[in-house]
Structures are given as C-alpha cells and as structure tokens.
Amino acid sequence: MSGAVKAINSGVGEFQLRLLAAALEETRRQTSQTKSDLLGDLNPTTALSLLLGRQLTTPQAADEIKRIMSLLSNQPDAASDVGRVFQWAQERRGKARKTSTGTGKK
C-alpha cells in the first residue's frame, strides 16, 4: 500500500498527458501565422477546451496543463509538443510551488 496513491496519480497523469498530446495534434493551427515562437502552430487553450468539453480562458488552460504536469513523475521532453506547452503554461502562470504535501500545487 505504501506509495499506492502516488503511483495511481502518476498513471492518471500519464493518461492525461497522452490525451493532451492527441488534443494538441487535433487542434493545430492550419495557417502559417503563429502566435508565438514557443508554441508554433499549437493551440493549447483550444486543445484543453476540447478535452474538457467546455470553453476555457487562456489562464484556465495554463492552470489545467500545470495540474496535469504536477501528477507526472517525469516531465516531458522540453522539445516535444507537450513539453513546449508546459513551458508556455509556466511562463503564463508562474512555476508551481511545492506545498507541504509535495503535490506542487499552489
């Protein structure tokens, strides 16, 4: 039983990460114009809105991405789509601070 919740949370985080990657692929901008060099054709707000089934603001999307990443035992490769989106979320909303429970939530 020791560490069971941590292992479950990590598994849930990995699953959510795969869903996020699929949603990012589905919602890529179909234009040559990009909003930022970091994101390129990625559209994280639309991707998270699609996943959650409700319209999100950009700050809400950044918070959701940070929540997903807080569940992972290993962070994604910084050059990957989800890695770039995580970096974007941190820049938009600040880095998560460790709490006394170690969850990384604010």
**DSSP per residue, 26-78:** HT--SSS--S-TTTTT--HHHHHHHHHTS---HHHHHHHHHHHHHH-SSPPPT
Rounded (10°) angle between helices 81-93 and 4-26? 100
Q: Which amino acid belongs to residue 42?
A: L
Instruction: Look at residue 55 and tell me if it is in a domain.
Output: yes
**Measured on CA atoms in the order 77, 80, 40, 89, is the torsion positive or negative?**
negative
Question: How confident is the model over 45-92, as pLDDT tens digits?
Answer: 999 999 999 999 999 999 999 999 998 888 889 899 999 999 999 998
- Percent residues over pLDDT 90 in the chain: 53
Single pTM value for the model = 0.77
**Is 87 within the bounds of a domain?**
yes
Residue 34 lies in a domain: yes
pLDDT on residue 37:
81
- The answer to whether position 105 is within a domain reads no
Residue range of the domain that includes 46:
4-93
In a domain, 101, yes or no: no
Predicted local confidence at residue 29, as pLDDT: 81
Total domain count, the chain: 1
